[in-house]
């Protein structure tokens, strides 16, 4: 998992409440058995005018010229600005996968659905909760100033605006530790790889018949 320490990026705004996970990555794309390739179908039903299906060449699609991610001013955006209850609906982990694989590193909103919030941290995507007043201010300034960028400092837990104003946010200590170090659940376990190997070696020495059992 990619580390998250300090990130500066362009904002893309999704000015809707209650954006659910089926809007983030529609259900037909969940058939894939891989964990990659979902970025091209992020917000698929909003980004395109034609119906999408797994394995389709995105260059053959008809983009919706009015959708925010298709506007030239938001090309390359890596911070998503959203409204309350972002990520509601089903618990699909594909939603943070799609956001991450599109290129987003963080999402700022007044509130998130619980399961989406937890899944984001486990996949290296930083969900930041700010007050509605602060989020409204960011929407207004982003609309007024093309190329509007924010700096996110996870170490100090700050969102820093172009004028230097800082908004504090809070991340639970363990989640912050994992993001700063790039540890997903597997990475956390592999910190103890030497101890695991030592235990397995000792166990097979004491109970050698296990080797035959494990090999069938």
% of the chain residues with pLDDT over 90: 74
Domain for residue 1, yes or no? no
The pTM for the full model equals 0.87
Tally of domains in the chain: 2
Give the three-state DSSP class for 87: coil
Task: For residue 161, tell me if it sits in a domain.
Answer: yes
What whole-number distance in Å separates Cα of residue 116 and Cα of residue 21? Answer: 8
At 21-77, the pLDDT tens digits run 999 999 999 887 788 899 999 999 999 999 988 888 988 999 999 999 999 999 999
The fraction of the chain above a pLDDT of 70, given in percent, is 88
- Coarse DSSP helix, strand, coil percentages of the chain, rounded to the nearest 5 percent: 40, 20, 40
Is residue 176, in this structure, part of any structural domain at all? yes
Phi, psi of 212 (to 5 degrees): -65, -35
- Asked whether residue 192 carries a pLDDT value surpassing 60, the answer given is no
Q: What does the pLDDT look like over 86-135, one tens digit per residue? A: 999 988 899 999 999 999 999 999 999 999 999 999 999 999 999 999 99
The answer on 204 and 176 residing in a single domain is no
Q: What is the pLDDT of residue 130?
A: 98
Residues 193, 152, single domain; the answer is no
Same-domain check for residues 164 and 101: yes
107 and 58 belong to one structural domain: yes
Write the CATH number for 130: 3.20.19.10
145 plus 207 within the same structural domain? no
Residue 203 sits in the same domain as residue 123: no
**Whether residue 171 sits in one domain with residue 190:** no
Same domain, 172 and 192: no
Residue range of the domain that includes 110: 6-183
């Amino acid at each position: 998992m990619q580390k998250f320490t300090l990130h500066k990026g362009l904002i893309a705004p999704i000015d809707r409440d209650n954006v659910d996970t089926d809007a983030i990555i529609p259900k037909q794309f969940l058939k894939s058995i891989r964990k990659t390739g979902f970025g091209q179908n992020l917000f698929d039903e909003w980004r395109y005018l034609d119906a999408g299906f797994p394995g389709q060449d995105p260059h053959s699609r008809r983009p919706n010229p009015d959708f925010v991610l298709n506007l030239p001013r938001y090309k390359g955006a890596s911070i998503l600005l959203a409204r309350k209850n972002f990520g509601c609906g089903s618990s699909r982990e594909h939603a943070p996968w799609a956001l991450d694989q599109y290129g987003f590193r963080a999402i700022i909103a007044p509130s998130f659905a619980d399961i989406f919030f937890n899944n984001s941290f486990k996949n290296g995507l930083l969900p930041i909760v700010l007050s509605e007043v602060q989020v409204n201010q960011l929407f207004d300034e982003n609309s007024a100033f093309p190329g509007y960028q924010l700096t996110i400092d996870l170490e100090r837990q700050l969102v820093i605006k172009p004028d230097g104003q800082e908004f504090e946010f809070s991340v639970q200590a363990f989640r912050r530790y994992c993001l700063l170090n790039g540890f997903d659940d597997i990475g956390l376990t592999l910190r103890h790889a030497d101890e695991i190997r030592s235990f397995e070696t000792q166990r097979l020495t004491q109970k050698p018949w296990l080797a035959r059992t494990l090999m069938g």
